[in-house]
Structure formats: structure tokens, C-alpha cells
Amino acid sequence: MLTLTASGVGFAAMALPVAAAQKPVVQQVKVSLDGQQEGVRVIESNGTSLIAIRDLANSFGIVPEYAKGQIVLNTEVTVELTVGSTAYRVNGEEKAFTIAPYEVAGSVFAPLNELVEALGGTVEKSGSNILIQSFQLAEGEFSSVRWISNDRVLAVREDDHALVLIDTLSKRSTVLIADADAAGLVLSPDGKTGIYTLGNGTVKTINLATGILRTVTKDSSVKTDLVWSADGKTVYFIQGDNQEKLASLNVETGVISKVLEDKVTYKSDLRVSADSKKLLYLVNITGTAKNDSNSTEESLTIDYSTAGTQLVSLELGKADAKPVVLTFDAANKLYPQLLKDGSAAYIRIDPAAADPVGALELVTGANQQKEAALGLDVLEASLNAAGDLLVLGSNKSGLLELHQVQPDGTSKSLSSFSLDLSNAVVSLDGQHTIGTVDGKVVLAAGSSVQYLTK
């Protein structure tokens, strides 16, 4: 509980700044405090916002006491300030306000940002809105941001590999676990469970509500590119030292079953359809070594004419099903996705082009593909919870645009951003977009952007 006590000289004897002598206008404004709207009084002085200490204290649930100019704020930290003086102390450490606290219309005002931060909180301005948190935002460089529900996201902090849960309404954060292996977890379709592998092949799940870990299997084979079935009962993955197999894991029993063992190495980017009837993945084809009959080092050459990344699909549930190669060109292929109608999509980049740009390719069958006319340099592609294809790209004006694209190539723009947004994901209700800017987690709704970390 934060309490305010006071002692010292009277207010009237204190010297006031020039702005105070000019009778600054007291404005009644609404601020967001931990996600709740509160009414407070503020004034402007030399370009700095000052807040009535009494109003800030009331918003934090505190009854302030004043006496003769000196104010002591006791909470998890101790803040000591004096009316008319820029000097103040936080836990005994000397600091200085940009403007000395002073009295206007019977109330004492102090610099908003500095006072909130002295009390352990943070202040952010979003347009004309003032957003105050009574706590510090999570700090660090973040990546891999994902929605868990309409008001909670999970982000990986690169500094310590921590999985951080962030409430998008209050902006409060909780470290779920700090583990380099867990940082690569894959979320279940209902957002309640994460699954990941250890370096020794062991597979674990983590309950995102309780943090409880469970070992699913101790099988020591290499497992990569885990992906959940829509019902949350099965996880498909690529298996083997050279990523040469496809397998499935029963999450409840831990039983591993073979799906495909065709000796084709370097599979990646595994996807499963919503009806669990099809798998999609990339095969990275390397160059072919050739030499003479004596196998001398001098005669060794590498043929790269067939090298590249190709998209492959596999029907599930058919004993005689064979992989179907969908693409045959040498272009780079990124972010493959399986769409609701069974077709596929990926981002195509031609490395031989003078000015390579990303294009969205829609695939309906083997060597049957067409480019979606989006007018964007496509950067990322993902599916939302409803299975809709979402594409982030840069338009000709340099703005980032988020599009929803149908399997036939028609699209609509959902939002645009003037900031350099990465890892963009739309919320389950379609109302907000989460992403990162320079490693900070941001929440965007229309033109409004809020930082959830610092």
C-alpha cells in the first residue's frame, strides 16, 4: 500500500516556476491506468505534463496527506520530494525533476512521467491518450510473438530465452519459463499447451496456465518442425539426423508412429491441414557431386542445376500414398501454408532477379501455381485461428500492409502500418494485430499502436 506523509515549510513560502506565475490552465483529462479509465487533472509547463499528486495517489488507491511542502511517498520504494524544488530522492538516491513540483488552485502538481517512474510505473502516450502502468513493462528484445487468447500473448525474450506471458489489456507480464529449448515451443490449437523438444530428443509439454511440465516421450531420435493436429491429440514432426523421415506423436500416450520414410533428406517447414488429411513440407535439394572413375579430388565437381527448395505434399491415411512434388523452379520458397480448401501457398523470391521481391504463390496441384496480385513486396505469410491466410508486405509507398487472401487470390487489406512491424499476427477475434518493432512487442488496432514491452 502506498501512503503519503508530509512535513516541512508551508507551500506559500516556496518559489514557483514562471509557468506557475502565469496561472497555467488546469485540464481534466482521462488516462488509462492499468487498462482502466481514470479522471485526473494535469497542467502543461514548458512542454512538460504535470499531474496532480492527489489524483495520481487516488488512482493508485491511496489517501494522500500533505503538510508544509515536503512529501514522502512510501511504497515498495520511498520517494521524497519538496514543493518548489527539483531535487527528489528515490530510496535515498538523489534525482532531479525537469520542473519543480508546485501548487495550482490548491493542489500540488509534479512532472507526470518522472513521478510515475519514480513509483515504479511507466507512462506512454498513444496519440492524445495517456497510458499509465503502476508497474514496469517487461524489458528486453522479443521475438516469436503469438496469441493465446484475445487478450493474452506469448513472446520469447531473446536475452534469456524466457517465455513471457503478456496481458494486452493491463500490460502486466509473467515469465512462464526461461529455457532455450522451451523457447521453441509450438502452441496447441486451443492455446492452452505448448510442446517442445530437448536436445536429447525428449518431448515435453507445458501448461500455459500453471507452468506445469510433462514428459511425453524420452525417445532420443532427432525431432524438428513440430506441428499440432487441429484436435490437439497428435503432433506431427520431421525425424532423423538428416530430417529424412516424417512421424507422428500421440500426445497422451507418447507413442510415435512412422508416417513416411522415403530417404529424401533435409525436409523442413512441416504443416498439417485442418482436417489432418494432408501434410505439406519443403525439401531442400543440395548439389550433386560428380567425379571420374578414380574419384580423384581434382575431378570432383558439384552440379547445382537441380538444387533448390521444392514444395511437397503427402496424403495421410493412405497406405500407398506417395509424396507429390508441387514445384520445380529454382526460386526460394518461404512460409509455406496449407489453406482451408486443401490448396497451398508460399512466398516466392527469385534470387536471380536484379531487385528480388517477395510474391505470394498459390498452388492447386503439381506444377500448378499462380501469383496473387497483391501489389506488395510480400514478407510474411501465416494462418489465423480460423484458417484464413494472412500476408504482410510492403506497398509502393513503403507502408506495411496486412492482407487476408482467399484461395482464389482475391484479397482485402485489413490494416496498414507506418512502423517497421515484424512477426505480425492477428488476434483470434480479428480486432488487433500483435508484432515486434525493433525487438519490442507492440499491439496495433487501426492507427493506434501501444508498446507492451520496452
Q: What is the pLDDT of residues 85-115, one digit of tens each?
A: 999 999 999 999 999 999 998 889 999 999 9
Q: Alpha carbon of 185 to those of 26, 146, 195, 424: distances in Å?
A: 51, 11, 5, 18
Give bridge partners of residue 178 from the DSSP assignment.
Answer: 162
- Cell, residue 68: 508544509
- Cell, residue 314: 503427402
Contact assessment for residue 391 and residue 381, using Cβ atoms and an 8 Å cutoff: yes
- 138 vs 405: CA distance, rounded Å: 34
Q: What is the pLDDT, as a whole number, of residue 436?
A: 93
- 291 vs 48: CA distance, rounded Å: 75
- 433 vs 178: CA distance, rounded Å: 25
DSSP letter, residue 299: G
Pinpoint the alpha helices (H) of 137-220.
Answer: none
Share of the chain above pLDDT 90, in %: 57
Q: Alpha carbon of 418 to those of 124, 302, 395, 398, 453: distances in Å?
A: 18, 45, 11, 8, 19
- Cell, residue 339: 489453406
Q: What is the pLDDT, as a whole number, of residue 287?
A: 55
Highest average pLDDT, of 261-265, 346-350, 415-419, comes from 346-350
**Positive/negative CA dihedral, 13, 14, 19, 20:** negative
Q: What is the pLDDT, as a whole number, of residue 13?
A: 32
3-state secondary structure of 341: coil
Contact assessment for residue 205 and residue 214, using Cβ atoms and an 8 Å cutoff: yes
Mean pLDDT, range 147-158, rounded to an integer: 92
Counting every residue written for the chain, the total comes to 454
Which residue is associated with the grid cell 501457398?
Answer: 345
Give bridge partners of residue 433 from the DSSP assignment.
Answer: 426, 444
Q: Which of 399, 405, 443 is nearest to 425 (CA)?
A: 443
Mean pLDDT, range 419-428, rounded to an integer: 83
- 435 vs 432: CA distance, rounded Å: 10
Biggest CA–CA distance in the chain, Å, is 101
Q: Is the pLDDT of residue 322 over 70?
A: yes
Q: What is the pLDDT, as a whole number, of residue 384?
A: 84
Q: CA neighbours within 13 Å on the CB side: how many for 417? A: 26
- Cell, residue 342: 486443401
Full-model pTM: 0.78
Contact assessment for residue 108 and residue 66, using Cβ atoms and an 8 Å cutoff: yes
Start-to-end CA distance of the chain, whole Å, equals 26
Q: Is the pLDDT of residue 20 over 80?
A: no
Q: What is the pLDDT, as a whole number, of residue 368?
A: 93
- 80 vs 77: CA distance, rounded Å: 10
Amino acid (1-letter code) at residue 391:
V
Contact assessment for residue 29 and residue 40, using Cβ atoms and an 8 Å cutoff: yes
Q: What is the pLDDT, as a whole number, of residue 105?
A: 87
Count CB-CB contacts under 10 A for residue 431.
10
> Which residues are CB-neighbours of 29 under 8 A, at least 6 positions away?
39, 40, 41, 42, 130
Q: Round the CA-based radius of gyration of the chain to a whole number and report it.
A: 29
Q: Is the pLDDT of residue 58 over 80?
A: no
- 277 vs 274: CA distance, rounded Å: 8
Q: What is the pLDDT, as a whole number, of residue 129?
A: 78
- Cell, residue 424: 505480425
Contact assessment for residue 56 and residue 68, using Cβ atoms and an 8 Å cutoff: no
3-state secondary structure of 24: coil
- 340 vs 397: CA distance, rounded Å: 32
Q: What is the pLDDT, as a whole number, of residue 9?
A: 30
More confident residue, 449 or 197: 197
**Positive/negative CA dihedral, 325, 267, 204, 217:** positive
Strand pairing class (245-250; 27-33): unpaired
- 19 vs 330: CA distance, rounded Å: 68
3-state secondary structure of 116: helix
DSSP letter, residue 97: -
> Which residues are CB-neighbours of 207 under 8 A, at least 6 positions away?
192, 193, 213, 214
